[in-house]
Structure 1
Amino acid sequence: MNISLSLKSLLDSISTKPLNESDLEKYLEEFTLKLVENDVAYELARSTASSVVKALSKIRVSRFGSDLRELVIKTAKEHLLSNIATCDIDYMNLVASSLSEKIPFVQMFIGVNGTGKTTSIAKIALILKKANLRPLMVCADTFRAGAVEQLKLHAEKVGVSYFEKGYGRDPASVAFDALELSRRDGYQAVLIDTAGRFHTRRGLMEELSKIKRVSSPDHTTLVVDAMAGNDSWEQAKTFMELIGYDSIILTKFDADVKGGAALSVSYISKKPIIFIGTGQGYGDIRKFDIRAYVEELFARL
């Protein structure tokens, strides 16, 4: 990850020469910039850098070497872990717990255009199918050209059922009808795909709120593209404020060379990243442990 390489170069600079008071402000700015350049939200980058500089200011400024390096790593890591969502959700336990109370388990997926939302839903459907559950993929995107065909293709490829009512229908009514069908036909999980909404379009966001009111999902998941740069945490912030959600799926994680998106969306939302996308195949999805991820980032330093 570039974030590890950038911080390593900065640490090499700090730990190989004595520090004086005038250096600290420079390192504050440099540390912040290194994090922001790697898609860490500015607020988190600045507070992390400030915590490091504060720790450095408490020691003898002439001190340098491995002890100082370890201090920087320890301080930055502890600050990050105390400011991001480190709670863990076991997805299948979540589903099982919900099904013990009512059937079906309803999950709604939201996010902007092009994040891989429909593909992610198919991946989740396959996970549920392998657990001997009957999932139903629902196309509540009734406006985007090709949306129905795309969901149908994914559903057929993973071998699960799908529900659609064509184009031009009220998305909330589609979700409602899908739930009626699921109760009648014994589907245990309903996965609702919604139209990609640019988080800056408030009118379209209100439509999502209507779908959520009608379907009363047990769990709402925001799908975010790890390659979206700083826009990823803007999406996480706006969708939380306007719609609300319980977890995040971070797609294209395998192609993200910077590494800051996971930290940013977790910090902004205070919600766990339950899965990351690691490829185009339907099996290319895995559970995400953000504590282990942070440990890995700093282990490279």
Structure 2
Amino acid sequence: MFESLKKKFSRTSDKLEEELKEEAQQENNLDPDEKPQKKRSFFSFGRKKEEPKEEEATEQLALESGEDNSGEEVEESSLLSKETTDSEEITKDKPEEEKKSFFSFGRKKKEEVEEESVEEEADEESAEEDSEEESGDKKSFFSFGRKKSDDDEESSGGFFSFIREKTISEKHVEDTLWELEMGLLEGDVAMEVASEVVDSVKQNLVGKKIKRSNDITEYTFNALRDAVAEIIDIPGKNMTEMIEEKKAQGEPLVVMFVGINGTGKTTTIGKLANYYLKKGYTPVIAASDTFRAGAIEQVNYHADNVGVKLIKHQKGSDPAAVAYDAIEHARAQGKELVLIDTAGRMQTNTNLMDEMKKIKRVANPDLVIFVGDALTGNDATEQAVKFNDAIDVDGVILTKADADSKGGASLSIGYVIKKPILFLGMGQGYDDIMEYDAQWMLNQLFSDDEEEVSESE
């Protein structure tokens, strides 16, 4: 998820580092005597350090204390192996008339072995000298594509420090923040959200004093993370807590779902029915989409699959009446949750929007949830704004979040309408839905370590 935003955040740090390094070179402010250290990557900040495995730690301790004698055994075995190999090669070079019995192969007089080993050592030393002369121009075939060691990375000059401490000024971040803003907009982040992130980063960076390049990376990481944390953490109602509150009053929680066609609204209702059924509640679904052909059959299919009651009328009947009957059924049967499916409609269709207002007026839902497709990016945010203006939604569910590589809708939609994201659709199955967690989202945006992200879930 959100690969493009991760790359954009990382480039912000790299760009600022280039700006400061170039200026320091002009000022002769780079420290040439600084001991090389490994440069930390942007995403390494905030990552948990792995503890060494017990076996590796024991081996390391043994090596440091000088108790490991395995090296002597390896050396002895390698010498024996070398002698055997050498003797076999010598035997192959013997004239045919000097052949001996099967068991005599590889057997030589002590004097012959010593003389030939001296000659071979001289040949090997000569070959090594020749290869050393050519090593500057040639590489082993298998060396291509091989990862550099830490020592190679450190000696590459990636890490640097300043002789005199530098202070980040507005001129240093001007171009960097412009590129960040353009990158966020390309990632389908809403304009006002991109501007808010950039302004927050600017405030956090300008005036910071730095001594080494790792400081730049760390400050940029923290500034971006803090800015995004404020954007995505919108306080709001928790649906499970609301069910408990209504249950204490002897009433069901009534939830109405709105959105345009094709966003996965009906499937999401099936997922939520399954989610709360497994939590021990008894949902009922109202098939209030009486306009679209096949809509009742579609929601009936999901209700049967998860095993919940569906309240439905004939096609073309009053959708508000269906919602009302479902609520009365829940009250009579002591069910805790009513999920009202409505017809998908474009936010520009005034007549259908008025019909949706009527359903809300009759059903008087406790929650109105907008269901948006995360893959549509800015379109999902604009749709949410229109629905919020028309009917005042209380929260958002984003579908297909698992397939969203840009992350624009997830970053923008809650902040723009000032309403929380309640759930994320994470796949095709009924179990593929999760309650939204701002900390989890932050880890998705700022971690390259998949194991760390999965742990935070």
TM-score, length of structure 1 as denominator length = 0.91
In the alignment, what sits opposite 1:291?
439
Greater mean deviation of Cα atoms: 238-247 or 182-191: 182-191
In the alignment, what sits opposite 2:225?
77
Query: 2:187·2:407 contact (CA, 8 Å) conserved in 1?
Result: yes
- 1:47 paired with 2:47, answer no
In the alignment, what sits opposite 1:33?
182
Greater mean deviation of Cα atoms: 179-188 or 203-212: 179-188
Query: 1:14·1:64 contact (CA, 8 Å) conserved in 2?
Result: no
Structure-1 separation of matches of 2:397 and 2:377 = 15
> Which whole-Å deviations, capped at 9, do the CAs of 1:69-123 have from their partners, x for residues lacking one?
2222222222232344443654322211111113222111111111111111111
Select the residue among 380, 383, 401 that pairs with 1:253: 401
Query: 1:16·1:65 contact (CA, 8 Å) conserved in 2?
Result: no
- Assess, with a 3 A threshold, how the Cα gap between structure 1 residues 7 and 222 changes in structure 2: closer, same or farther: same
Q: Write out the 4+ residue segments of structure 1 that deviate beyond 4 Å after TM superposition.
A: 19-23
SS of the residue corresponding to residue 137 of structure 1 reads: strand
Q: More relative contact order in 1 or in 2 (CA 8 Å, sep 6+)?
A: 1
Please tell me the residue identity of whatever aligns with 1:111: G
Query: How much is the aligned-residue C-alpha RMSD, in angstroms?
Result: 2.2
**Structure 1 unmatched ranges of 5 or more:** none
Structure-1 separation of matches of 2:173 and 2:337 = 54
Deviation at 1:162, TM superposition (A): 0.4
Deviation at 1:186, TM superposition (A): 3.6
Query: 2:269·2:341 contact (CA, 8 Å) conserved in 1?
Result: yes
Please tell me the residue identity of whatever aligns with 2:329: L
Structure-1 separation of matches of 2:217 and 2:211 = 10
Structure-1 separation of matches of 2:447 and 2:390 = 37
SS of the residue corresponding to residue 365 of structure 2 reads: coil
Select the residue among 1, 6, 13 that pairs with 2:8: 6
Structure-1 separation of matches of 2:433 and 2:256 = 18
Please tell me the residue identity of whatever aligns with 1:170: D
What is the identity percentage for the equivalent residue pairs of Structure 1 and Structure 2?
Answer: 40
- 1:160 paired with 2:332, answer no
Matches within 5 A, 1:12-31: 12-18=14-20, 22=171, 24-31=173-180
Greater mean deviation of Cα atoms: 115-124 or 270-279: 270-279
Structure-2 separation of matches of 1:173 and 1:35 = 45
Deviation at 1:194, TM superposition (A): 0.6
SS of the residue corresponding to residue 424 of structure 2 reads: strand
Structure-1 separation of matches of 2:234 and 2:250 = 28
In the alignment, what sits opposite 1:207?
355
**Structure 2 unmatched ranges of 5 or more:** 24-168, 450-457
Query: 1:279·1:285 contact (CA, 8 Å) conserved in 2?
Result: yes
Structure-1 separation of matches of 2:337 and 2:388 = 24
- Assess, with a 3 A threshold, how the Cα gap between structure 1 residues 64 and 144 changes in structure 2: closer, same or farther: farther
Deviation at 1:252, TM superposition (A): 0.5
Query: 2:234·2:415 contact (CA, 8 Å) conserved in 1?
Result: no
Deviation at 1:270, TM superposition (A): 2.1
Structure-1 separation of matches of 2:238 and 2:364 = 21
TM-score, length of structure 2 as denominator length = 0.61
SS of the residue corresponding to residue 375 of structure 2 reads: helix
- 1:58 paired with 2:58, answer no
